[in-house]
Amino acid sequence: MNNHFAKVLTVSDACFHGTREDTSGEALRQLLIENNYQIVDSRISPDGIEPVSEQLIEMATNFHGLIVTTGGTGFTKRDLTPEATLRVIEREAPGIAEYARSINKLGMISRGRCGIRDEALIFNVPGSPKGAREMLEAVIETIGHAIDLLQDAKSEHPKGP
């Protein structure tokens, strides 16, 4: 059992204004709990570079763990979560996002990013509950190791199959 912490940011104008239920955020919280993550914060933000980047900066400050965003990774004009993420991260972790996208053919239309800010790993997944869960599930084991490395460069690599 690990002792990792997680925060979830749902990016959706409709959820923010209360006209739609946050089902993708709930799906992510359940998956994280199933994988022994402690959820320490969960928020909803409207779409857009400014509101999302402000939330990500605030959530990453003095935090060691995973921040997973859901929503805003598609092709509509309001889908700006990747741009907001690029604005706040210090280093990208492209392999995580690339691998997560590869598990489903619809992944090719997700523009999500993954990167590091201080000791936080920020990972964007789609706004659909199924897509969000599938993408996080595909990388959750490796993400735990990545979080360990952010705090302790001597963290032991997981044993292979």
- Whether residue 161 lies inside any domain: the answer is no
- Whether residue 138 lies inside any domain: the answer is yes
- Whether residue 158 lies inside any domain: the answer is no
Q: What residue numbers bound the domain in which 30 lies?
A: 5-151
Contacts of 60 (CB under 8 A, 6+ apart): 67, 88, 117, 118, 120, 122
- Whether residue 32 lies inside any domain: the answer is yes
The helix or strand, by DSSP H or E, that contains position 54, with its residue range, turns out to be: helix 49-60
Question: Per residue in 115-140, pLDDT tens?
Answer: 999 999 999 999 999 999 999 999 99
Q: Are strands 38-45 and 91-92 parallel, antiparallel or unpaired?
A: unpaired
Question: Per residue in 140-161, pLDDT tens?
Answer: 999 999 999 998 755 455 555 5
- Whether residue 113 lies inside any domain: the answer is yes
Question: Per residue in 56-90, pLDDT tens?
Answer: 999 999 999 999 999 999 999 999 999 999 999 99
- Whether residue 159 lies inside any domain: the answer is no
Q: What CATH number is attached to the domain comprising 71?
A: 3.40.980.10
Number of domains into which the chain is organized: 1
- Whether residue 58 lies inside any domain: the answer is yes
- Whether residue 75 lies inside any domain: the answer is yes
